[in-house]
Amino acid sequence: MGLARRLGHNAGIIALAAALLATTAAEGLYRSGIATRIEYLYTDLWHRLAGPRQVPRHTALVMLDDPTLNERPDEPLPFWTPHFARAVATLRQVGVKVVAIDFIFSGSPERWIGKLGLIGREASRNYDQHFREQINQGGVLLAGFRVGAGDTANDFILPSPDYLLALPNLDMPGHVGLANLPSDADGAVRRFALVEAPGEFPKKEGMPRLAFGALAATTATGQDSQAKVWRFGGREIGAESAVPIAFAGPPGSFVALSFRKLLAPNAVNDPAVRALAGKVVVIGAGYASMNDLHPTPYSTSIGGANILMAGPEIQANVIETLLAGHFLDEAPAAVRLAIFAAVLGALAYACMWLSAWRSVVLVILAMQLAAIVGHLLFKQDFLFPVAHLQAAMMLVLIGQSLLRLRREERERKRIGQMFGRYVSPQVVTALLASPELPELGGQTRQISVLFSDIRNFTTFSERLSAKEVVELLNTYLERACAVLLAEGASIDKFIGDAVMAEFGAPLAQSDHARRALRAAVALRAVAVEYRVWVRQRFAGRDLPEFDIGIGVHSGEAVVGNIGSSVRMEYTAIGDTVNIASRLEGKTKETGAHILASRDTVSLFGGELKTGTLYCLTVKGRAEPVEAFEIVALK
């Protein structure tokens, strides 16, 4: 039976309350960030399932790789600035929009040459001349790194002063970007901010301000590096906005051009080099010993290989996100709350109408559906907090389970108190252990009804005092009830000296007819034994011999709480009850002590010793009733 049926018209209100509580909890988890790491598992899985998501159109990657280094094994990297100058010149010739060099040239070869005095003074002044000339022409961005709060120059790792002095208009914020890659709590890089640190940054005037990828994108679109808001893809992005990176795909989605291609003779006619025209080109390190590798959504261990992504490729993904205007949008607060409330409200209401195990199945299916929808939304560049919604679904299930347990405990207590007056403790225990509690409002059941009446009770009442009559009746009923309860009867009521009992309600009993006839025979034996007590207790009072009549009939009846709002009792009503009562009355006419209808005898399922078969006309029925005199059980 569903919980909502028991709660009636309050079901909707309770479901709404459960939904509001679960929504508040989910939003609280979302804002506090407690469950964010679980959410990462989903978003990372979406990335891995999606594979390559787009072909980069605005950004390209050139990597200084091992084949390039192997061609010049005797040249240390700090002395490669002439090669960088040649590469930049080649890129400029083919029409590259911006060259972003993801190396930190913190040392100057010229300074080393002059300090060591290894070659002539002319070389110490002109070794980097071509590289400085390329920087000074503009369109070339250098990389720095923030290591402190930004109060002083010592909080930054910057290019050598020789290169800073070559910047156009000495504009360091417009030509040096900070290559820091902020990571989430689990160490993976998933988002970026245009300004590398929030607040008033940098604190020292003239220092680099924008993140490396953001500076490349603003330069390519001609926007001011000193602005507070920038426009990409038709939307404005503030300095402190944390923007999810719309990765083009797993590591390697940017097909990197080898740096040696730019150094080759007649490189400007190479189709691979000419394909870089009009793009922002990131030049970075891709050789085996580099230390610029980072975890990304493609790196977590669940559901995929633990593959790291090179820093220059992450920077390229940041630039492509901005220039392509291809963003991963997180659900706005209003949309998120509306979806939380709608889904959780529907789930809470549905669970109230279902049994406990069906509610568990429903919640599991709902959680799986939420994951599927979350993946489909991701494919449409929309991020929804699936894990938070699933956590709230579990809270709904737990809350409904607690409510169900509390409600059923109250009902079981009430039923125990009610039926404890009618049935044996064993039946009460079995009733409460049953997974389906009885509907107290009334239900149709196949039962057997037993009526028993004391013969000549009027004479006993006339010849005994009122106190003695009560003693006689109570002593007998105590013994009679014991044998009835032993057979699992529900003692319906006492009508003066008569007893009405049902078998098969409130706890269903497939052998109700057998129990009823066994109880009738046992009850007859109790009456025979009770005669001795009556003779001894009321000796010399000229009382008739104590005897009883019993009628039993089996059939369909309505059982449940019958009555008014003032007084209500659990009883059975219907034709089956009437026939049992009439058969008990016919025992006086026939002289039989027990009369059982043919319906009851046919359901007995065993051997009976019967006497006369009567065809009786009973009040209220046009057709006669066939009834057997029951003598004993074989």
Query: Could you read off the pLDDT of 395-407 as tens digits, one per residue?
Result: 888 877 777 777 6
Whole-structure pTM value: 0.67
Of 594, 575, 570, 571, nearest to 583 by C-alpha is: 594
What residues contact residue 575 under an 8 Å CB cut-off, 6+ apart? 555, 557, 620, 621
Count the alpha carbons within 13 Å of 65 in the hemisphere toward its beta carbon.
Answer: 13
Tell me the one-letter amino acid at 512. Answer: H
What domains can you pick out in the chain, each with its CATH number? 3-41+329-416 (no CATH), 55-226+251-293+309-324 (no CATH), 439-633 (3.30.70.1230)
pLDDT at 1: 45
Phi, psi of 422 (to 5 degrees): -110, -35
Phi, psi of 394 (to 5 degrees): -65, -35
The whole-number average pLDDT for the span 441-452 is: 89
Query: Could you read off the pLDDT of 498-532 as tens digits, one per residue?
Result: 999 999 988 888 999 999 999 999 999 999 999 99
pLDDT at 407: 67
Answer yes or no: is pLDDT of 625 > 60. Answer: yes
Query: Could you read off the pLDDT of 77-119 as tens digits, one per residue?
Result: 888 999 999 999 999 999 999 999 999 998 877 777 766 665 5
The DSSP string of 547-568 is: -EEEEEEEEEEEEEEEE-SS-E
Of 298, 367, 331, nearest to 30 by C-alpha is: 331
Answer yes or no: is pLDDT of 181 > 80. Answer: yes
The whole-number average pLDDT for the span 323-332 is: 90
Average pLDDT, the chain: 86
Q: How far apart, in whole angstroms, are the C-alpha atoms of residue 68 and residue 284?
A: 12
Answer yes or no: is pLDDT of 216 > 70. Answer: yes
Q: How far apart, in whole angstroms, are the C-alpha atoms of residue 225 and residue 215?
A: 7
**DSSP E strand stretches across 391-441:** none
What residues contact residue 293 under an 8 Å CB cut-off, 6+ apart? 308, 309, 310, 311
Lookup: tokens for 563: 């009555």
Phi, psi of 7 (to 5 degrees): -90, -15
Local structure of residue 8 (DSSP, 8 states): G
pLDDT at 106: 85
Q: How far apart, in whole angstroms, are the C-alpha atoms of residue 557 and residue 455?
A: 27
Q: How many CB atoms lie within 10 A of CB 99?
A: 23
3-state secondary structure of 264: coil
Give percent of the chain with pLDDT exceeding 70.
87
Tell me the one-letter amino acid at 502. Answer: E
Phi, psi of 400 (to 5 degrees): -65, -35
Q: How far apart, in whole angstroms, are the C-alpha atoms of residue 69 and residue 510?
A: 90
Query: Could you read off the pLDDT of 224-272 as tens digits, one per residue?
Result: 988 889 999 889 998 878 899 999 999 999 999 999 999 999 999 999 9
